[in-house]
Structure 1
Amino acid sequence: MRIRDHRADDEPEINLVPMIDVILVLIIFFVVTATFDARSVLKLELPRASGEATESNQALSILVNASGRYFVHDREVLRDDLDSLKATIAEVAGNDRDRPVLLRADARTPHQAVVTAYDALGQLGFRRIMIATAPTPKGAGEGRQ
């Protein structure tokens, strides 16, 4: 009786499961550790003004881009009418009407869009409204009256 060696019949194989596990862990790590900045999504050209910079971390941020679209924190207001803007602001801000509001409007924004934002904030009861501006370049404002 001949005893057969089955080891010769085994073909070597590469197990891909551990490699896939490592790749998925790396993808999850990079997604979790990536920082997302809402300001980098929208390119705003702020109007220029002289004055001192103030910083408010707790401010409710409202952005108005050059075409008049509204963004409350990270949420885009789907329609540009007053009621939609008020509903989004009320949903994001909650009941805190003493919270300061930072309005960031592009310099090319239609004036009506800024007035609509002020109107919505006033109707909701916000009284501490700041408007973001870029600093005036040195020597640009001199000589004008």
Structure 2
Amino acid sequence: MNFRPRTTTEPEINLIPFIDVLLVVLIFLMLSTTYSKFTELQLTLPTANAEQLRDRPKEIIVSVASDGRYAVGKQALEGKTVADMAEALRSAATAGKDSVIIISADALAPHQSVVSVMEAARRVGLQQITFATQTAAQ
């Protein structure tokens, strides 16, 4: 009879092959994943279903061309500065502070041009601003 105590060794989990497999999977995922580049985004600018434009005395339509030229109503502005725009808005605001400015900017117009119109409206004290869009193609 064998009365000696048995020495049992606990099984060991070898982590090195496990780590190797995980690194291979990680490298595979990193190489196969595609990332979006923000400089290559294709943007489609705003479209909306809107009612037909009507002639309202409180509305001042400001057009911004793609090259940064402005027109208030149907009159083109000579200058491109905020002060010139503010003066034109002041003279076109027949309803005073209740006038609504509709900014109709070209899709390729510089963002700064639209911000300049908003700044001119702020200087004159006109707070109601909206943006014109084209109707969505059905």
Tell me the equivalent position of 2:107.
Answer: 107
Which of the pair has more CA radius of gyration?
A: 2
Aligned 8 A contact 1:61 1:103 in 2: yes
Aligned residue-pair number: 92
Once the two structures are aligned, what percentage of the paired residues are identical?
22
Q: Decide which of 28, 33, 55 is 1:57's aligned counterpart.
A: 55
User: C-alpha distance in 1, partners of 2:51/2:106?
Assistant: 18
Pick closer, same or farther for the CA change 1:54–1:127 going to 2, 3 Å. Answer: farther
Tell me the equivalent position of 1:91.
Answer: 91
Unaligned runs of 5+ in 2: 1-44
Q: Which runs of 4+ in 1 moved over 4 A?
A: none
Pick closer, same or farther for the CA change 1:97–1:54 going to 2, 3 Å. Answer: farther
User: Given residue 106 of structure 1, which amino acid in structure 2 is its aligned partner?
Assistant: D
Aligned 8 A contact 2:49 2:135 in 1: yes
CA RMSD of the aligned region, Å?
1.8
| Length-normalised TM-score, structure 2 | 0.59
